[in-house]
Structure 1
């Protein structure tokens, strides 16, 4: 439940692929990206699923939140928005990159009865340190998102993609400047306090954790430790891939999700 000085953010949900009668997959974005850009190829490639995505407050189609929010409050708002879009109590499959993966962990822990399977991509039960997020907020409040964009190529992509940009990688970097700086800072503040490491042994939803070998933000080693503490989970690492694996390695991500979501064990 939200505290008196917070309010649930208004989350925009976007249809990405599939038909209304298909089982539902929900995709979540990373900090600084639009779900439609990040997951476009994967969404179109997943077979047999109705795929929908959501945007962070202040990103893409979602308005900046009126008040600060926690990751737990964001997760509850995402589930409410999905239920409004597809009907309540539908069984769901979920995959999220980075902050979207954090939201997925929160959802699976808080609402295990709603999820057939979940996947976190280049994410974690705790991402960076509180000081990292405080420093990021200070930087954006002083200078806007320009310095963040300048540093994001090395942070988001594996070495090969960073050195040889594609149209898609250029586009996702350019769109970072479309994010509302206030919404970006709200997301950083939510990440600052997010930590579900102690809750991982409670996990009831089959979990897939995917790491990029070149990811310096949420490393393969951190993901391996997460899986070691999470019942019923499995781990995959993608070579030569950085932090935005759905954009950088869509075929590999599609293959992993297709298998995992087909093995969830509940209709």
Structure 2
């Protein structure tokens, strides 16, 4: 069976600069989630990828798991930039899960990685089955209606902006079946037993207001990952690059620069 087709988007920078790959949260387009942050990430060529059926990536009609998805992402990146360049990675939520999968399966390709508002396992299989059942019955409208409370911290909830409104509106454009397959992949994703073998320098960034992937869950992940570090973004929920791009980029630049200097 053909693997998922992953589309890439150049968000910032130009050939010859160090490459940063950025990944999206379930239900978002990478361009919406990361464009502002990518523009602030000075000196890097920032390339984003979209989940199947999201943004520019083609829909899927069959299940896949996170390992297969990560492989498809890496093949798309290799085709775009070549296999010799060392990569840096930053992914939010499901994009962070894919990042963890990449650095446990292909550590030789990555100089450093960061996961934002993510985890080695997110929620339970039952939670994701319930989400799939809901979308099968009623489509994405109920998910869209609840997304602001699930995605944003109190600061954005109190004062929505154009970007926060747009990311919610765009959820309606996602292919519903592809969304369900992504939920099913998250339901079986679990790399907790592989954290101790990670060799790529890892930064875990959590939002203080994130109820989906909490700060304590991220601290626990760091405790089980050799050499990993943890940072907390005050007032941020589940979409750090969109909610506070400047603070997010400051942490990423520090992490990537530190590892580049070694």
Q: Please report the TM-score for the alignment, with normalisation by the length of structure 2.
A: 0.98
Equivalent residue in structure 2 for 1:41, among 36, 42, 53: 36
Aligned mate of 2:213, from 205, 218, 235 = 218
Residue 93 of structure 1 contacts residue 116 of structure 1 at CA under 8 Å; is this kept in 2?
Answer: yes
**Runs ≥4 in structure 1, deviation > 2 angstroms?**
none
Q: Does 1:157 pair with 2:152?
A: yes
Partners of 2:70 and 2:60 in 1: CA distance: 14
User: For the residues of structure 1 that align with 2:173 and 2:77, how far apart are their CA atoms?
Assistant: 24
Which of 174, 195, 201 is residue 200 of structure 1 equivalent to? 195
2:67 pairs with 1:51: no
Contact 2:61 2:177 in 1 (8 A): no
Query: Is 1:94 aligned to 2:89, yes or no?
Result: yes
Number of residue-to-residue matches in the alignment: 262
Residue 247 in structure 1 maps to residue 254 in structure 2: no
Give the RMSD, CA atoms, in angstroms.
1.1
1:89 and 1:197 map into 2 onto residues whose CA distance is: 29
Deviation string 1:187-234 (CA, Å, 9 cap, x unpaired) is: 001000000000000000000000000000000000000000000100
* 1:51 positional shift: 0.6
Once residues 149 and 168 of structure 1 are traced to their aligned partners in structure 2, the CA distance between those partners, rounded to angstroms, is: 15
Shift of 1:67: 2.2
CA contact (8 A) 1:7 1:69 kept: no
Give distance in 2, aligned partners of 1:153 and 1:258: 28
Match of 2:71 among 71, 76, 83: 76
Give the C-alpha shift of residue 68 in structure 1: 1.1
Q: TM-score, normalised by structure 1?
A: 0.96
1:266 is displaced (CA, Å) by 7.3
The Cα offsets for residues 106-160 of structure 1, whole Å up to 9 and x where unpaired, read as 0011000000000000000000000000000000011000000110100000012
Structure 2: gaps spanning 5 or more residues: none
Following superposition, the deviation at residue 66 of structure 1 comes to 3.8
Unaligned ranges ≥5, structure 1: 1-5
Deviations 1:78-133 (A, max 9, x none): 00000111112321000000000000000011000000000000000000000000
Matches within 5 A, 1:110-149: 110-149=105-144
1:163 to partner: Cα distance: 2.5
Residues 132 and 180 in structure 2, CA contact (< 8 A), matched pair in contact too: yes
Q: 1 CA distance for matches of 2:163 and 2:9? A: 20
Write the deviation string for residues 40-98 of structure 1: whole angstroms up to 9, x where unpaired: 11100111111100000000000112421100000000000001111123210000000
Q: Is contact 1:7-1:67 (8 Å) kept? A: no
The answer for the alignment partner of 2:8 in structure 1 is: 13
- Cα contact 1:7–1:68 (8 A) shared by 2: no
CA distance in 2, matches of 1:257, 1:265: 12
1:31 is aligned to 2:16: no
